[in-house]
Homo-oligomer: A and B are copies of this chain.
Amino acid sequence: MGKIFITGIGPGSREHMSIRACEVIENSDIIVGYTTYIKILEKSFKLKDVFVSGMRKETDRCREALNLALSGKTVALVSSGDSGIYGMAGLMLQIVEENGSDIEVEVIPGITSSSASAALLGAPIMHDYASISLSDLLTEHDLINRRIEAAASADFVICIYNPKSRTRVAGLAEARDIILKHRSGSTPVGIVKDAMRDGESAVITDLDNMLNHEIDMTTTIIVGNSETFVSRGKMITPRGYGL
């Protein structure tokens, strides 16, 4: 019987992948993934075989990965960042479960976008933080706003994934309005696009001005807590060492 590795590939470039993830990519019979990520991997690896599909085809990819593994193949199902954070690990395990299969599955962690983005900005998430996706494809809009409210009220650093898409633009402005009820307009905000891969950009701004910057689906936004400050181009959330 084959095996399924659910593998986070980190931000994208090989240098920020773990050694274990590289080994799995190199040694698997077939890599299953979303078009964009397979293209990124092909820049760094000679892939033996691939099964590629587009956006919103997550369920199909997982079923294909299972079928391939059941036919005896070693399969790497890849997602960007960490496969366990807004990635494919949950869905893949659910599909194995639904099938009643006892195929072996191993989850390999990766560097998620909040870590990669934070490293580019300085040290904005040194303290308690909340990670919230604004995508309302799979989550009720009200629940998203309730989470933004809770995180803002308890002074969490807030990492926002999927802030905007071509068809979904209002959510981010709403989220910002909610945060502004609890935090000053001068609260630092980091906006990072394509962290640690081609086209990377990182900007530090504040709540008042954040909507004036380019933001899309591959942007991660980090909103500081009440103590976050900016110094010489670095966004820093102190942890109370009392310097």
Residue of B nearest to A102 (CB): B232
Residue of B nearest to A124 (CB): B84
A93–chain B nearest beta-carbon distance, Å: 5
User: Which residues of chain A from 216 to 236 have any CB-CB distance to chain B below 8 Å in the complex?
Assistant: 231-232, 234, 236
Interface of A is mostly: mixed
Contact of A238 with B94 in the complex, beta carbons under 8 Å: yes
The answer to whether the Cβ of A64 comes within 8 Å of any Cβ in the partner chain is: no
Contact of A115 with B109 in the complex, beta carbons under 8 Å: yes
Contact of B115 with A128 in the complex, beta carbons under 8 Å: no
Asked whether A126 and B238 contact (CB < 8 A) given A18-B15, A18-B17, A19-B15, the answer is no
The answer to whether the Cβ of A110 comes within 8 Å of any Cβ in the partner chain is: yes
**The residue from B58, B93, B133 contacting A128, defined by CB atoms under 8 A apart:** B133
**The residue from B16, B84, B124, B238 contacting A125, defined by CB atoms under 8 A apart:** B84
List of B residues within 8 angstroms of A126 by Cβ: 84-87, 89-91
Number of interface residues of A (CB under 8 A): 74
Contact of A82 with B111 in the complex, beta carbons under 8 Å: yes
List of B residues within 8 angstroms of A108 by Cβ: 119
- Please measure, in the bound complex, the distance between the C-alpha atom of A91 and the C-alpha atom of B242, giving whole angstroms: 10
Contact of B129 with A131 in the complex, beta carbons under 8 Å: yes
Contact of A155 with B131 in the complex, beta carbons under 8 Å: no
- Please measure, in the bound complex, the distance between the C-alpha atom of A176 and the C-alpha atom of B227, giving whole angstroms: 27
Contact of A123 with B107 in the complex, beta carbons under 8 Å: yes
The answer to whether the Cβ of A74 comes within 8 Å of any Cβ in the partner chain is: no
- Please measure, in the bound complex, the distance between the C-alpha atom of A86 and the C-alpha atom of B124, giving whole angstroms: 10
Contact of A127 with B109 in the complex, beta carbons under 8 Å: no
